[in-house]
Structure 1
């Protein structure tokens, strides 16, 4: 049996918990190609994209808050 799942490309998040100060040492930056795309968008298109991206961030925050709630956290279930 050959497991090909490890061969799939992945985006690895930076080690921010184990290496405190990571973002201070390596501030986030936007690639020039991405800047060109953003600056090439019309104001209306940027607004639509910003609304979509903001909604996605809000969903992530909501999910994190629900999953970290002491009453609904999977860790709390394990203690029962």
Structure 2
């Protein structure tokens, strides 16, 4: 995984207390993108709170990244049941 941050992600951190705002997130990129055909775009949004507690652990446990990616453009977060 490669973690990326841009203006959209910074806004999610700065505005997270506003009503209707998404959870603070970063974008995770699959490092195998370009080396093999993926069943998804190769990137997805991950809640910062779930990065090390769930995403990192899932990677260590051997889960395929494609199996973790949500179907929609939602923030991957275990606490809200979107992963």
Q: Work out whether the TM-score is over 0.5.
A: no
TM-score by length of 2: 0.23
TM-score by length of 1: 0.24
| Between structures 1 and 2, the one with greater helix share | 1
Relative contact order, CA 8 A, sep 6+: which one is greater? 2
Larger Rg: 1
